[in-house]
A and B are shown apart, each in its own frame.
Chain A
Amino acid sequence: MFPDSGHREKRVLLLTAAPQDATAILKAFEGADIAMHCCAPGNLASEFQAGLGALVMTEESMTSPVLSTLPVLIADQPSWSDVPILILAAPQTDAETRLFRWTPSVGNATILERPMRIETLVQSVRVALRSRDQQYRLRDQIEAQERLLMQAETNERRLSAVLNNTRMAVFFMNERQECTLMNAAAETLTGYSLSEVNGRLLHDALHHTHPDGRPYPVQDCPIDRAFPQNSQTEGEEVFVHKNGHFYPVAFTASPIRQDDVVVGTVLEVRDITRQKSDTEHLRMLIDELNHRVKNTLATVQSIFRQTMKDEPISRHARDAIMSRLLALSRSHDLLTEESWVSAPLRALTDSALQPFGARNREAARFILDGPDFDLCPKAALVIAMSLHELATNAVKYGALSTETGVVRIRWTVTAPGTLRLTWTESGGPPVTPPTHSGFGRRLIERGLAHELDGEARIAFEPGGVVCTISVPVDKAVLGIGKAGVTK
């Protein structure tokens, strides 16, 4: 484009043979606010191509070079353009015959007879420029549409690049739940090409049967509910491949709204076969590990009992060993259920105290009070073993050795970031502090410090044993469960 193209588009090129004709015409247009531009016949092509609003030419200027150039210039115009041409006929009598011979080759030409009034010429040029303006508006519209079209094509190319390069299978369903688009990943996933499912209920193609062989009616399908319920739906389902095999998928179905009206659903689907088998494999490994741990503990139990037959020990000692072994095993159970990630404090407490409550048939003698926390594995084991030792001691000497004694276990998170658990016995016989530090006490006091940077203090108060356990929250707690529960 020329920098002054706006000006050039509106100018009127003037082609004359005699200089006095040019002078007269220029004079006629003085004060008419129309840009007249004299053009030498040799420059016609370049001036024409540079842009013009109209061409005014005298018949005398139409020499043979002009007559051979002009039709080409006219024919080469873009589709929107048809430059208006005013031909001022020569005043000779035979002018008419000559004009009619060549006007068909000069396109949008109007012939004005000379002599004429100046106003007629000026007005004719104005009309020509007006029609040229109309052509320019048409051109602008066409160009704007072309730009939009190009933008749309770019967008489309980008979109299909995304759609066809993502590993996520993407489908589009119309308001009748029929498939109207699927990307390359969707074709790979399902085994179908778009042409095979285009216009069909997607459910009927991919999801028609449950893995157990029962038919899967579309009205039961959570994917197809996203549209009528107008809400995004996520979940896991099992699809049927074109070749008949079933495969598990995770899906997201999102209703598509246009001007607040739901017009269809975009469905994203991911094959989760691998993920499922990995999870299953992990679960199997944990089960296997647990099985071995449990068998090993049972073996230890057996070795102990066999040894005891040859080397008898006291019944107290035997019971203590057995019950510690079983307590260790029970605390493993809760961790196994959560794949060795965490164990809920409350369930852990219940499980550690269960043999004592069960034996006395009086679970109400334990009062548990605190919110549920998920403990990390280390903390779970140490705390469960500590509770077991405290309960064992309480059964032998403390609150649980009488008919009416109770144990209150409270736990709470105190500032700054400390989980504090207190074990308070009451209603038992008068407490006599022990003369030496037994295994249970050492396990509680040393175990907590060693494993968790925690602290435990056992006080032999006259009214009953009080044990205060403090551990840093960041070492012991993975998360806070449901709101506090009190038993």
Chain B
Amino acid sequence: MMDTEFLRGRKVLVVEDEMLVAMLLEDILTDCGCVLTIASNVASALECAGAEELDAAILDENLNGQRSYPVADVLARRGIPFMFATGYGEKELARLYPGRPVLAKPYSEDDLVATLTTLCRPPVAG
């Protein structure tokens, strides 16, 4: 089991349109002690991303046929770290959002926790 202590109390925005996949994330992250906001479409995700106090966000790339890029752009402007989860290839996202982590669906619990932990760590100075 990975060390999830670091994630305790982190506020994480989960943007995912598939209910069962959202439940999976909720299970894993709640077990880690994260505090979640879950949005299932671009409009509500934009609302949360623009207003809420957040430590990190996990964005499904495709929300009922709409791309989650506007949400990513809001988060980027606010300096909130985020990662993508996608059922598409990773190449397009790597081109559009270089440096942002991308998890291919389905992902392992360990990979999810490890990537989220990296997001929540403050950048190393230098």
Q: Could you list which residues of chain A lie within 8 angstroms of chain B, going by C-beta atoms?
A: 287, 290-295, 297-303, 305-306, 309, 322-323, 325-326, 329, 333, 336-337
In the complex, residue of chain B having the shortest beta-carbon distance to the beta carbon of A318: B109
The SS class assigned to the A binding surface is helix
For B20, B23, B27, B106, the residue with the greatest tally of chain A CB atoms inside 10 Å of its CB is B106
A292 partner residues in chain B, CB cutoff 8 A: 87
User: Binary interface profile of B, 40-76, with partner A (CB < 8 Å = 1, else 0)?
Assistant: 0000000000000000000000100000000000000
Decide: A309 near B27, CB < 8 A? Known: A298-B21, A299-B21, A337-B89.
yes
When the two chains form their complex, are residues A287 and B88 in contact, meaning their CB atoms are under 8 A apart? Answer: yes
Q: Establish whether residues A298 and B89, one from each chain, have CB atoms under 8 Å apart when the complex forms.
A: no
State the Cβ distance, A413 to closest chain B Cβ, in Å: 31
**Given known A287-B89, A293-B87, contact A302–B104 (CB-CB < 8 A):** no
A365 to chain B, nearest CB (A): 20
Nearest 6 A/B pairs, CB to CB: A294-B87, A302-B24, A291-B87, A298-B106, A302-B20, A294-B105
> How many residue pairs at the A-B interface have CB separations less than 8 Å?
65
Please report the C-alpha to C-alpha distance between residue A301 and residue B18 in the assembled complex, in whole angstroms: 12
Main SS of chain B's interface residues? mixed
Q: Which residues of B contact A300 (CB under 8 A)?
A: 106
13 contacts between A and B (CB under 8 A): A295-B21, A298-B24, A298-B87, A298-B105, A298-B106, A298-B107, A299-B21, A302-B24, A322-B108, A325-B106, A329-B104, A329-B105, A329-B106
Selected from A287, A326, A336, the residue in CB contact (under 8 A) with B106 is A326
Q: Given the complex, which residues of A lie within 8 Å of B23, measured CB to CB?
A: 302, 306
Contact indicator B88/A303 (Cβ below 8 Å):
no
Choose from B28, B105, B107, B108 the contact partner of A295 (Cβ within 8 Å).
B105
Nearest B residue to A325 by beta-carbon distance?
B106
Given contacts A287-B89, A336-B89, contact A294 B24 (CB under 8 A): no
Residues of A within 8 A of B21 (CB): 295, 298-299, 302
- With both beta carbons as reference points, the residue of chain A lying nearest to B1 in the complex is identified as A315
Residues 87 to 126 of chain B near chain A (Cβ within 8 Å): 87-89, 104-109
Closest chain B residue, CB of each to CB of A303: B20
In-complex Cβ contact of B62 among A291, A306, A326, A333 (8 A): A291
Chain A residues near B24 (CB-CB < 8 A): 298, 301-302, 305-306
